[in-house]
């Protein structure tokens, strides 16, 4: 009877149930392994992609610096070649927009195995009005007159207030000039701030000066600059039409365009002149002969430059680097005054 009951119990436990449990466990382990392997693969791919992006970014950074170095070499070669070729007719070196340094660099490079897109634009930093010079002891009064004319040219008739506020922003003291604005006036605003009381570092700083609206800054921003050295003369061979218009009262747009056209003309012997060789030649233009009031102060003018802006962009893979720097060329040396990185 005992053996009969045991045989009945054994028959009631199906061997297929044990096999089903084992299959479920095996599927669970397999699924877990797939999930872990997938997560590891995704993580590895992410790290590889991140490392590639960092590598592309570093390469783009170095390419941008190499573009800046290329510009420095070109500027140095430019001044050295002028010294070698200097003649009695040209007592000072002349910088103009037909020279190698002024030509845009737009090229590609695949030396690393990945295509790199390179772009560099050099502009003459002395082709604009240096507003830091309005407090200069020697030429400050003349620069203030030119700045007022710039404001008037852009529809600001009450320009004394903005000019006075700009003087107070740049000068070293805390005593407001007539119609000016020092710390107290700015600190009384909702988001108060203090005046710089030092030369401006960037044209955008002008936006903080009392009376300078966003719309006004958009108009005058491309015409002004903030160079560390004062006074810096305006290069008549690289200045734009708006800048030439503010050199003296009553210079019309047509007059300024004629002055630009006068840079290139045929000389004696059939040679092509590419720029004004001296400020005296510039002042001999017929524009200034029609009215003496149009004649600029020669102390503001120059035919060469020491400061240059470099705007360089490098793209390689997913990496991108953009730098803007201010260079100063002094005799046989070129140095970076400042450099900024951004998008």
List pLDDT tens digits, range 131-144: 999 999 888 999 99
- How far is it, in rounded angstroms, from Cα 104 to Cα 120? 6
Of 239-243, 272-276, 307-311, least confident by mean pLDDT is: 272-276
Dist. CA 283–CA 251, nearest whole Å: 13
What is the C-alpha separation between 159 and 108, in angstroms, rounded? 47
Range name among 169-178, 220-229, 267-276 with the lowest pLDDT average: 267-276
Q: What is the DSSP letter of 44?
A: H
CA dist 75 and 266 (Å) reads: 26
Whole-angstrom Cα distance, residue 125 to residue 103?
15
Residue 316 burial (CB < 10 Å; 0-12/13-18/19+)? buried
Q: pLDDT tier at 11 (50, 70, 90 boundaries)? A: low
Residue pair 53/318 in contact by the 8 Å Cβ criterion: yes
Query: Which neighbouring-strand residues pair with 117?
Result: 108, 315
Question: What is the Cα–Cα distance from 61 to 179, expressed in whole angstroms?
Answer: 47
Averaged pLDDT, 61-85: 91
Q: Compute the mean pLDDT over every residue in the chain, rounded to the nearest whole number.
A: 86
Q: What DSSP string runs through 150-208?
A: HHHHTT-S--HHHHHHHHHHHSSSSPPPTT---HHHHHTSTT------S--SSGGGGGG
Question: Which has more confidence, 109 or 68?
Answer: 68
Find the mean pLDDT for residues 171-176.
Answer: 90
Sign of CA dihedral 53, 71, 202, 128: negative
Q: Which residue has the higher pLDDT, 111 or 227?
A: 227
Helix (H) or strand (E) holding 330: strand 319-330
What is the pLDDT averaged over residues 198-215?
Answer: 93
Give the separation between CA 180 and CA 188, rounded to whole angstroms: 15
DSSP 318: T
Residue among 65, 68, 55 at smallest CA distance from 101: 68
- Distance between CA atoms of 21 and 216, rounded to whole angstroms? 80
Confidence category of residue 88, pLDDT binned at 50, 70, 90: very low
- The share of the chain scoring above pLDDT 70, in percent, equals 89
Number of H helices, E strands in the chain: 10, 11
| Distance (Å, whole) CA 236 – CA 216 | 25
């Amino acid at each position: 009877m005992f053996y009969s009951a045991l045989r009945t119990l054994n028959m009631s436990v199906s061997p297929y149930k044990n096999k089903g449990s084992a299959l479920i466990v095996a599927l669970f382990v397999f699924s877990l392994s797939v999930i872990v392997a997938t997560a590891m693969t995704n993580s590895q791919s992410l790290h590889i992609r991140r490392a590639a992006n960092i590598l592309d970014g570093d390469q783009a950074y170095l390419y941008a610096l190499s573009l800046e170095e290329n510009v420095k070499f070109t500027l140095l070669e430019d001044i050295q070649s002028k010294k070698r070729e200097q003649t009695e007719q040209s007592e000072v070196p002349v910088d103009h927009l037909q020279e190698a340094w002024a030509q845009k660099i737009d090229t590609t490079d695949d030396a690393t195995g990945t295509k790199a897109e390179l772009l560099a634009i050099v502009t003459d930093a002395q082709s604009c009005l240096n507003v830091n010079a309005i407090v200069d002891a020697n030429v400050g009064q003349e620069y203030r007159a030119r700045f007022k004319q710039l404001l008037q040219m852009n529809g600001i008739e009450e320009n004394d207030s903005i000019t006075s506020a700009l003087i107070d922003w740049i000068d070293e003291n805390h005593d407001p000039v007539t119609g000016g604005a020092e710390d107290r006036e700015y600190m009384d605003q909702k988001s108060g701030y203090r005046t710089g009381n030092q030369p401006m570092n960037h044209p955008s700083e002008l936006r903080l000066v009392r009376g300078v609206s966003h719309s006004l800054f958009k108009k005058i921003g491309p015409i002004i600059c903030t160079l560390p050295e004062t006074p810096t003369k305006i290069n008549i061979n690289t200045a734009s039409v708006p800048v030439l218009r503010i050199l003296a009262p009553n210079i019309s747009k047509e007059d300024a365009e004629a002055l630009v056209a006068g840079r290139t003309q045929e000389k004696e012997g059939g040679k092509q002149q590419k720029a004004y060789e001296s400020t005296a030649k510039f002042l001999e233009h017929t524009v200034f002969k029609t009215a003496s009031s149009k004649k600029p102060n020669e102390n503001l003018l120059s035919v060469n430059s020491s400061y240059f802006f470099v705007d360089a962009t490098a793209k390689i893979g997913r990496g991108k680097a953009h730098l803007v720097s201010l260079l100063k060329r002094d005799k046989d040396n070129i140095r970076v005054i400042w450099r900024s990185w951004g998008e």
